[in-house]
Amino acid sequence: MPILVKGLKMLQMRNVNAYYGRVQALKGISLHVLPGEIVCLIGANGAGKTTILRSISGLLDVLDGEIRFNGTRLTDLAPDQIVRLGISHVPEGRQLFGPLTVIDNLRLGAYQRYRRSNRSQIQKDIEYVFQLFPLLEARASNLAGTLSGGEQQMLAIGRALMSRPKLLLLDEPSMGLAPMVAREIFEVIKDLREGGTTILLVEQNARMALSLADRGYVLETGKIIIEGPSAELLENREVKRAYLGKGRKGFFE
């Protein structure tokens, strides 16, 4: 994976409004992500975290405002065009192709590269995913629908990596996982950042997310109410009261 040098804003959202029917889900959202960062979004269910990711990846139309990725306006592009620019989305619930094998799910992750990459490059990337998640190599011929929840999450991340993203959108990667498995997933997320992948992370476990991220945004009913470096948010009285909880610990403390 390419190593990125911090500099200009990789992702920028300006005054974004988004709706589900007549219900306004995002209300003037402005945020940014720098190359090489992990940025987390925290907030209660329904706060707009997933909607932000869906807006970036083109799965939800943005009616007002602007989203740019490395200077390119995303709000007029289809999801497949956004993937080609270098954004991969690991959705909540994983959304794997259950009747297909692990290896076929990974190959589909590289679908848009088949015309411009040779087979050996794609095979090397499959081997890279297997290095990150050795369990997947052992399950390569298994149907995705037969995997455990943790294995499915590994496969969902691996499939997203097959498009060689510059920016990885992760939606609730620890949801429903045993603590030991969740720890393994988050160790891989750390490794990906160290290898140069920029990450925008939605995670219900706010302490875990903030212990991993460089910066964070706190959302409430479709608005950003607090933002700042993760270390400051971990000490913020309102964030502690609403999201961190007494005695709850992250994996990296």
DSSP state of 30: E
Q: Residue 3 above 70 pLDDT?
A: no
Q: Give 121 or 232, the one with higher predicted confidence.
A: 232
pLDDT for 176: 86
- As a whole number, mean pLDDT of residues 85-102 equals 93
Q: Which amino acid is at 137?
A: E
- 122-130 — which CB contacts under 8 Å span 24+ positions? 122/162, 125/161, 125/162, 125/164, 126/162, 128/1, 128/161, 129/158, 129/161, 129/162
Q: Residue 7 above 80 pLDDT?
A: no
pLDDT for 249: 47
Q: What is the pLDDT of residues 168-187, one digit of tens each?
A: 999 999 988 888 999 999 99
Domains of the chain plus CATH, in order, are 11-86+165-244 (3.40.50.300), 95-149 (no CATH)
90-99, 143-152, 162-171, 221-230: the lowest-pLDDT one: 90-99
pLDDT band at 4 (very low <50, low <70, confident <90, very high): very low
Coil, strand or helix: which one is 189?
helix
Encoded tokens for 50: 């997933």
Q: Residue 151 above 50 pLDDT?
A: yes
pLDDT band at 13 (very low <50, low <70, confident <90, very high): very high
The backbone torsions φ and ψ at residue 43, rounded to the nearest 5 degrees and listed phi first, read 155, 170
pLDDT band at 17 (very low <50, low <70, confident <90, very high): very high
**Distance between CA 2 and CA 4 in Å, rounded?**
6
Q: Residue 112 above 90 pLDDT?
A: no
- As a whole number, mean pLDDT of residues 231-250 equals 78
Q: What is the pLDDT of residues 43-73, one digit of tens each?
A: 999 999 999 999 999 999 898 999 999 999 9
Encoded tokens for 90: 């690991």
